[in-house]
Structure 1
Amino acid sequence: MTTNEMYEKSDDAWLAACAAPGRRWFRLSGTFRTLETLFTITRWGALAWTAQAVMNRAGAHETWGLVAFAVTSVLAVGAGWTAGTLAERGARAVATGLRQQLTGALLPTAGRISEAGPAEAAWAMVDLAEDVADFHAQTAPMSRSASLSMVAVLAVTAAVHWPAAIVLVLTTALLPLNMRLAGLFAQHGADRQSAATRHLNAVVLDSFRGMRTLRELGAVGRRGRTLATAAERLNKATLSVLRRAFLSGMVMDVVITFSIAVNATYIGLSLLGYVQVPHAPRLDLFTGLLVLLVCPMYFAPMRARASAFHQRERATVAACAVRGIVKDTPAEVPRAAGPRLTEPVGVSLTAVRFRFGGADHDTVNADVEFAPGSWTAITGASGSGKSTLLSLIAGLRRPSAGSVKWQTSSVRQAPALGGCAWVGQQTVLLDATVRDNIRLGGPEATERQIRRAVDAAGLSGVIERLPEGLNTRLGEGGWGVSTGEARRIAIARAFLRGARLWLLDEPTAHLDADSEREVAEALRRATDGCTVIVATHSFLLAAAADIVLTIDDGLLHEARLVNAR
């Protein structure tokens, strides 16, 4: 089932469909849960038989009863352990399936950039997938085993003493209403807890990400109070959920305890001879003890189902959040296919429009062609749509209308993810060596290819001054190199990809004049013979372009013609 097909379903159907990856394990787990019930009934029967044998001083029966009790105890424990292991395996499969969907939606390989923020994305990947998986691990095996287990207990009880079975049946009628009330009671609390968790995640992430700015502004203390308030809000919401769960559980426990107490009182009085139901079979120690031992087992599935009502509300909230993230992820996405395009790539945008959800105007409204091998600069105010236009050309977003095509002398195709080089104003450098950071652009690159990329990006002098050259380890975020040097590492990484289309999003932003010049020169060397489209405020980069376009309210206008490079 594709993501889009799942999205067409109702919320309940979508939540149920999430169990598909683990359904096989859940079925097996439910089967072993039923076996556990049967072995447990047999175990209690053996115990009751042994007690009767002790009362009758039948030594042989005592021995066989103890042997049967030991064997069935081992079988019951083994069946329960196996059921739990299988349910955990199914939960892992469900969580993995959801995380794969989320990965496809959150990363550019999905054919779009998700509008989910980093905090919501992390929350979905870490917590929400587990909430849905835990719900299915608890309820899916139970839905298979609960009815069979209850029927087995009721059948044994009716076989040995039918009045006790009637008490169980009458008490059962009170439980569904309590379970329904428990679920309705928990829903509001689960929604509040979810909102509080999302808010706390966002506050924590923003606080860590902006710690330097907060410290410079002297706002750390104020941010700490905001964080404490968000944590207290989540604490109150969680306690509210726990109170509701405790109250509804207490009501169910009262009903179950009452049923067991009625049966226990009846059996006790019957054994003493004070009560005798007409036409009922005679009660002895074996019968009375067996009924008392199996009665709690009859209510165990209902107790688990009541607990699942609370888990269901949590899982429903989680599934809705996950569904909102993955809803627009296409089932199949064009990817860079071999052989790699070896000619400069032209780009055509035909009646392309793009509008963010909920916006009242188009962010991009373009009808333009970029010639193969040309350098085009796109200028415009911040927020005018430059980065969005680049993401449409790269295939990271899908246009609301119109089409984007890449073309060479022999090929015309939709944008292929991974088929172009991208350099932005933020360079991500890993806590690894310079060589490893450059090799991200081509994991199979040889040493000679890496050296060519270093030369093309103008990094040779930088590498020479580093203590261990290419083997110098950079700290997380690029500690050890300047911002301009980090940009040139990104250029070397892009060069290593061998792409003939380069998309540059403010590649010289926040650089001083010398660093800007060095990065511009590196780009001109690295992109020789390639098609380059750069969104920039830099006069230096615009002056290096063949054509300069200005974007205003999403519309592209030719600003001026600049001499070819």
Structure 2
Amino acid sequence: MTTNETHGKGDDAWLAECAAPGRHSFGLASALQTLETLFTIARWGTLAWTAQAVMDRAAAHERWALVAFAVTSALAVGAGWTAGTLATRGARAVATGLRQRLTAALLPTAGRIGETGPAEAAWAMVDLADDVADFHARTAPLSRSAPLSMIAVLAVTATVHWPAAIVLALTTALLPLNMRLAGLFAQHGADRQLAATRHLNAVVLDSFRGLRTLRELGAVGRRGRTLTTAAERLNKATMSVLRRAFLSGMIMDLVITFSIAVNATYIGLSLLGYVQVPHAPHLDLFTGLLVLLVCPMYFAPMRARASAFHQRERAVMAAGAIRAVVEDTPAAAIRTAGPQLTEPVGVSLTAVRFRYGGADRDTLHADAELAPGTWTAVTGASGSGKSTLLSLIAGLRRPSAGQVRWQTPSARHAPALGGCAWVGQQTVLLDATVRDNIRLGRPAATEREIRRAVDAAGLSAVIERLPEGLNTRLGEGGWGVSTGEARRIAIARAFLRGARLWLLDEPTAHLDADSEREVVEALRTATDGCTVVIATHSFPLAAAADSVLTIDDGVLHDATPVTAR
């Protein structure tokens, strides 16, 4: 199902479609739940038979009844366990499918306009996907097995003693109304809980991310109070949902208890000879005990469905939040990178226009031809569209109009995700060794290739002074190396990819003059023979380019030669 096809559909319909990956497992689980009901009816029948045999002092019947009870008990337990296993497998398939769709939407994807915050993205990926999956694991098998199970119990009850079946049928009419009211009653509370959870996630993430700044400003205490308030709001919303669930569950339990009590009273008085319904079949110990044992089974599926009403509201909210993320990704995404291009790569921008969703004017107009093997600097004021231009060239976004093409001597290619090297002003370094951070560019790289990347990025001297060389473990965020050294690790990582097109987004931002000069020298060495496009405010970096493009009022101007080298 493409995202375009989901537009216009309600969250309920979208929630139902999410069950598709686990449908086969849920179908098998439903069949086994029905078998579990049948085996359980047989088990209670054999137990009633055993009681009747004991009453009649029929030893032979007692032995056979006990054997039958053991066999049917094993079959019922086995069917129930297998049904649960299949439902869990289906839930995993649903959660995996949702996470794959979220991954495709959250990672840089062609044409994606909106940006999802880290807190909401993590929440959707970790929690909301499981909320939807757990809901389907619980309700999808029940949707098929519940009616069949109830019919089976009602049929057995009617066969052995039809007055008891009439009591069950009359009570059933009261339950759907209670279930519907329970669902409506819980919806408002689920909305509040969802909003409170989203707010708390954002507050926690922002607090940890800005902890250093908060500490420097002396605002840790105020932020702590904000966090406490958000947690209390979520606690109140959760307790409200629980109170509503408890109240609706209590009403259902009253109805069920009343029905079972009526049947138990009737059977007890009938066995004592105080009540006799005209034309009703004879009631003995076997019949009465069997009816009393299977009556609770009749209401078990409805109790489970009622409980699922509350879970359903949470799942609908979760599906809506996930849907808001994945529907922002167009159906026709740019192709992923094929074989690494080994020929010189040029870039062609033909009548390119880009406009963010909801904007009333284009962000960028671009027409340019970037020759293979050249350095091109893109300058302009902050927010002018330099990073947007790079993202269009990389294939991270699709233009609203026009074409972006990578040109080689043999062919023209649409931008391919992962087909170019990207170095930005924020270098992502993992809590791992220097070697592992460099090898992110190509995990299968040999030691010799890693050493070449180190030399090309001008990292040799840095590696030598580290306590364990390439095996030195960097702290989270790159603790242990300077900002300039971190940039050169990113350059080594990009070099290792072997891409012929490099896109650099403010690669020397926040560096002093000496560090900037070292990074520029490392880039010159690492990108020899490659096409390089640089978004920058730095004159020394622009001066190192072969040509300069300027973005003014959203328009990319023709290249002008750079005289200062």
The CA distance in 1 between the partners of 2:323 and 2:441, in whole Å, is 32
The CA distance in 2 between the partners of 1:159 and 1:508, in whole Å, is 84
The CA distance in 1 between the partners of 2:203 and 2:360, in whole Å, is 29
Conserved 8 A contact 1:355-1:364: yes
Instruction: List aligned pairs for 1:167-186, cutoff 5 A.
Output: 167-186=167-186
Q: Secondary structure at the match of 1:108?
A: coil
The residue type paired with residue 70 of structure 2 is: A
1:7, distance to aligned residue in structure 2 (A): 4.9
Conserved 8 A contact 2:548-2:561: yes
Aligned partner of 1:56 in structure 2 is 56
Conserved 8 A contact 1:550-1:557: yes
Query: TM-score under structure 1 normalisation?
Result: 0.96
The CA distance in 1 between the partners of 2:349 and 2:223, in whole Å, is 45
Conserved 8 A contact 1:111-1:330: no
Question: Bigger CA drift: 462-471 or 212-221?
Answer: 462-471
The residue type paired with residue 337 of structure 1 is: G
1:232, distance to aligned residue in structure 2 (A): 0.7
Deviations 1:183-239 (A, max 9, x none): 111111111111111111111111111111111111111111111111111111111
**Structure 1: any 5+ residue segments left out of the alignment?**
none
Question: Bigger CA drift: 47-56 or 173-182?
Answer: 47-56
Aligned partner of 2:263 in structure 1 is 263
The CA distance in 2 between the partners of 1:219 and 1:431, in whole Å, is 28
Deviations 1:318-369 (A, max 9, x none): 111111111124355312222x322332112222222222222222222222
Aligned partner of 1:316 in structure 2 is 316
Aligned partner of 1:455 in structure 2 is 455
Aligned partner of 2:122 in structure 1 is 122
Conserved 8 A contact 2:110-2:397: no
Instruction: List aligned pairs for 1:517-532, cutoff 5 A.
Output: 517-532=517-532
The CA distance in 1 between the partners of 2:318 and 2:47, in whole Å, is 45
Instruction: List aligned pairs for 1:527-538, cutoff 5 A.
Output: 527-538=527-538
**Are residues 1:440 and 2:440 paired?**
yes
Conserved 8 A contact 1:106-1:114: no
Deviations 1:8-58 (A, max 9, x none): 644222211111111111111111111111111111111111122222222
Q: Secondary structure at the match of 2:165?
A: helix
The CA distance in 2 between the partners of 1:354 and 1:261, in whole Å, is 70
Change (3 A) 1:459 1:24: same
Conserved 8 A contact 1:491-1:526: yes
1:100, distance to aligned residue in structure 2 (A): 0.9
Instruction: List aligned pairs for 1:345-424, cutoff 5 A.
Output: 345-424=345-424
Aligned partner of 2:80 in structure 1 is 80
1:301, distance to aligned residue in structure 2 (A): 0.7
Conserved 8 A contact 2:457-2:492: yes
Question: Bigger CA drift: 531-540 or 352-361?
Answer: 352-361
Aligned partner of 1:431 in structure 2 is 431
The CA distance in 2 between the partners of 1:183 and 1:292, in whole Å, is 30
**Structure 2: any 5+ residue segments left out of the alignment?**
none
The residue type paired with residue 496 of structure 1 is: L
The CA distance in 2 between the partners of 1:335 and 1:55, in whole Å, is 76
Conserved 8 A contact 1:104-1:329: no
1:3, distance to aligned residue in structure 2 (A): 4.5
Aligned partner of 2:166 in structure 1 is 166
Aligned partner of 1:157 in structure 2 is 157
Aligned partner of 1:510 in structure 2 is 510
Instruction: List aligned pairs for 1:295-310, cutoff 5 A.
Output: 295-310=295-310
**Are residues 1:287 and 2:326 paired?**
no
Deviations 1:147-182 (A, max 9, x none): 110011000000000011111111111111111111
The residue type paired with residue 472 of structure 1 is: T
Q: Secondary structure at the match of 2:557?
A: strand
- Give the aligned CA root-mean-square deviation in angstroms: 1.7
1:564, distance to aligned residue in structure 2 (A): 8.6
Aligned partner of 1:486 in structure 2 is 486
The residue type paired with residue 24 of structure 2 is: R
The CA distance in 2 between the partners of 1:485 and 1:139, in whole Å, is 54
The CA distance in 1 between the partners of 2:312 and 2:477, in whole Å, is 41
The CA distance in 1 between the partners of 2:496 and 2:217, in whole Å, is 41
Instruction: List aligned pairs for 1:334-349, cutoff 5 A.
Output: 334-338=335-339, 340-349=340-349
The residue type paired with residue 225 of structure 1 is: R
The CA distance in 1 between the partners of 2:330 and 2:131, in whole Å, is 22
**Are residues 1:555 and 2:555 paired?**
yes
Deviations 1:248-292 (A, max 9, x none): 111111111111111112112211222211111111111111111
Conserved 8 A contact 2:161-2:280: yes
1:381, distance to aligned residue in structure 2 (A): 2.0
1:109, distance to aligned residue in structure 2 (A): 5.5
1:6, distance to aligned residue in structure 2 (A): 4.4
Instruction: List aligned pairs for 1:136-285, cutoff 5 A.
Output: 136-285=136-285
**Count, aligned residues:** 564
The residue type paired with residue 446 of structure 2 is: T
1:59, distance to aligned residue in structure 2 (A): 2.1
Query: TM-score under structure 2 normalisation?
Result: 0.96
The residue type paired with residue 318 of structure 2 is: A
The residue type paired with residue 330 of structure 1 is: A
1:502, distance to aligned residue in structure 2 (A): 0.8
1:528, distance to aligned residue in structure 2 (A): 1.8
**Are residues 1:95 and 2:95 paired?**
yes
The CA distance in 1 between the partners of 2:146 and 2:304, in whole Å, is 9
The residue type paired with residue 271 of structure 1 is: L
Change (3 A) 1:564 1:444: farther
The residue type paired with residue 440 of structure 1 is: L
1:560, distance to aligned residue in structure 2 (A): 4.3
1:114, distance to aligned residue in structure 2 (A): 5.7
The CA distance in 2 between the partners of 1:212 and 1:10, in whole Å, is 43
The CA distance in 2 between the partners of 1:377 and 1:499, in whole Å, is 19
Conserved 8 A contact 2:196-2:237: yes
The residue type paired with residue 37 of structure 1 is: T
Q: Secondary structure at the match of 1:533?
A: strand
